[in-house]
Amino acid sequence: MSNSPTTRGTPPRHDELELSLFGSGTGECVVVHLGAGNWMVVDSCLNAAGDRAIALDYFDSLDVDVARQVRLVIVTHWHDDHIRGVGQLLQYADSARFACSVALCSDEFLTLVLADEKIKLVEFTSSVSEFAHVLEVLKNRRSGLYAVGPDHWAAHGMTIHAESRPYDVTVHALSPSAQSITDSKGQLARLIPRVGDAIRRFPSVAPNDLSVALLVQTRGPNLLLGADLESGGDEWHGWRAVVASKQMPPLLSEAYKVAHHGSRGADIEAIWSQLLSKEPIAVLTPFARGRTPLPTPADINRIKSRASKAYCTVFPPTTNPPRRRGVDGTMREVVRSRRATRRQPGHIRLRIPIDDDLRGISVELFDGATSL
């Protein structure tokens, strides 16, 4: 393992696999160089200014031709912190194929999208509205009369991308499981609003069981991208279904984008023993919302006990807000505690020669990303 002296604007070599992870505690984006100048983007978050998809800023720094070189855009699930800016990204990456969870390929979800189309939102675009934007971008691409859906509805066992030359790179979907998809149908139906109701955000259908975890396979190193997939209560849901399946090849990954911000509920021993090489590199984003920010100290200790190195895009995920005379007393009357979140996404970058093993990896940290 080495730390590369390159600057952030230095592009990867054609024979390098890259995993770049961005996150501030309120969003997440994964950018992967698949070799030979081809790129994949998984999920989306905004830059510090809040006006542009972070992946577009990064591609600009590398002088990537987004329209030609971004081959695949994937949204793992429809939570707000994973999709902001994805419609904008697709507008620029106009030759990229788009994939999302097959669990959303239903009349029930599309009814939610239509119900949200005319809602004027005050602050952030809801995840349902973002999906409507994506459908509009795809429709305009093909100049058709009817809305066009994703190129791939991802589910366990599906090959989303395959590039035989020159580096034999394949992207597999490891989830959602068939049972999770079945379960989601009735849950989505119950979310459809009555006349006059407004959808401000897309509620959680299940505890992230519908997330699309991914395996990036090369003839050398592999990457495991955990999305927000949780452990699952049985062998038909979540990570337990991934491990129990006989459909996927028994491949070990050298680097792991840790699932669901390192939370205990997204971790089972079999991920580390059956899906990852011994002492892999672990990277994760924090989650600053909620009563208990993630990862917790216990989460960090657990991950470090299994990984050779662990890195987080931002840590700690929150800070104490600045003290302001006349304001603090008023705020204490309203809330018990306050935390300030960060606007600048931290950036972790791993690069590995495709024909090499983990010993050839370089790790670079930008904008507050840190070793745990």
295 exposure class (CB count in 10 Å sphere: 0-12, 13-18, 19+): buried
Angle 347-323-334 from CA coordinates, rounded to 5°: 100
Average pLDDT, integer, range 128-149: 70
Average pLDDT, the chain: 83
* Whole-prediction pTM: 0.85
Any idea which of 15-24, 138-147, 227-236, 261-270 has the lowest mean pLDDT? 138-147
Distances in whole angstroms, Cα of residue 305 to Cα of each of 1, 225, 280, 308: 18, 19, 11, 8
**16-371: CATH superfamily:** Ribonuclease Z/Hydroxyacylglutathione hydrolase-like (3.60.15.10)
Which amino acid, residue 363? V
- Bridging pattern class, strands 214-217 and 159-163: unpaired
* Token pair in block for residue 309: 């190195």
Tens digit of each residue's pLDDT (9 = 90 or more) over 293-305: 999 999 999 999 9
Cα of first residue to Cα of last residue in the chain, in angstroms, is 16
Any idea which of 16-30, 267-281, 356-370 has the lowest mean pLDDT? 356-370
Any idea which of 129-138, 199-208, 282-291 has the lowest mean pLDDT? 199-208
Q: Where are the alpha helices (DSSP H) in 259-336?
A: 269-270, 297-306, 328-334
Tens digit of each residue's pLDDT (9 = 90 or more) over 319-367: 655 566 554 555 455 445 555 567 799 999 999 999 865 567 899 999 9
CB 71 within 8 A of CB 65: no
Average pLDDT, integer, range 307-330: 74
pLDDT at residue 146 above 70? no
* Exposure string over 105-126, b if 16+ CB within 10 A, otherwise e: ebebbbebbebbeeeeeeeebb
Domain boundaries, the chain: 16-371
* Token pair in block for residue 97: 């194929």
Distances in whole angstroms, Cα of residue 249 to Cα of each of 158, 164, 170, 269: 12, 17, 12, 19
